[in-house]
Amino acid sequence: MDGFFQTGTTGRRTLKTAIGCVGVGLHSGRRVSLTLRPAAAGTGIVFVRTDLGIEIPARFDRVVDTRLCTALVAEDAPHARIGTVEHVMAALAGTGVTDAYVELDGPEVPILDGSAAPFVFLIDCAGTTALPGAAPVLEVLKRVRVEDGEAFAELQPGRDSGFEATLAIDFPATAIGRQALSLRITPASFRAQLAEARTFTLAEEISRLRAAGLAQGGSLANAIVVDGPLVLNPGGLRRPDEFVRHKLLDVVGDLALAGAAITGRFSGQRSGHALNNRLLRALFADRNAWRMADGEVPADGATVRLPAAAAPAMA
């Protein structure tokens, strides 16, 4: 099975059957039920607020907020939002699922353990099946870059088919510090190198986040908490560089909102959800920077307000 970030003869895939779970929203703290359901070829990934009866396509031009997560909003219903979509989007992309419904009875995807691994487990339990037609493939034709101070994110043409990514992060907490990772994203590398990497935050930021109405559902069970040189989680880290691996997982999830498999190279320095989304908007705003090999051209994002850039304390 080819992955969402590969090209060539990659075909569309969906789930064999519906599967679900129950968890807590990281920022809302609300209990929420999630169900992944099969979809017909050409559907793409569509979020469904079952409590509101509203569908929200998983597209870059539906992103309305990037404060500590990526949140989508319905086009004509600003009250209908879906927060923290990046981990389930990464799991769907990383396992090659191109068409599916993601049903939720609340405003946020459950955080589960803070990584994409539980969603990969759900997809594996449900199984996937081929759909007719080729999956859409987006080829980057020229360099596109967005910046915010010392932070940047860019896409440029790849040396061959597929998706390569290089990311560097730099945090003041000595337990994190400077970390960098380069990886060719394939189904195998996503599962082995990125899926289990958890979101993280700094201990000194928690009270500020909660005062702002964020991280209400956060705990040591669903996030790494760092205090200077210390990792406060009893089990420690899953990998010494779990922090940069999680940030690269976020890149996979955020760029999956292109609605097509990307062939090209991503480079980032201190990039977060805001820059990742601005990068897709900049790419699609330049019609000479990309072409679609298969499928439909993603919607233009010019009519949706750009989210304000923010330096996240929680990945």
Amino acid 309 reads: A
In degrees, rounded to 5, the angle at the alpha carbon of residue 45 between the alpha carbons of residues 99 and 79 is 155
| Gap between the Cα atoms of 238 and 281, Å rounded | 33
Beta bridge partners of 187: none
- SS3 state of residue 156: strand
**Would you say how long the chain is, in residues?**
315
The 3 state secondary structure assigned to 195-230 is CCCCCEEEHHHHHHHHHCCCCCCCCCCCCEEEECCE
| Gap between the Cα atoms of 299 and 185, Å rounded | 25
Amino acid 314 reads: M
| Gap between the Cα atoms of 21 and 46, Å rounded | 17
Q: In this structure, how many other beta carbons lie within 10 angstroms of the beta carbon of residue 201?
A: 23
Residue in 27, 87, 246, 273 annotated catalytic: 273
- In the annotation, is 273 catalytic? yes
CA dihedral 194, 198, 199, 203 (to 10 degrees): -140
Active site residues: 273
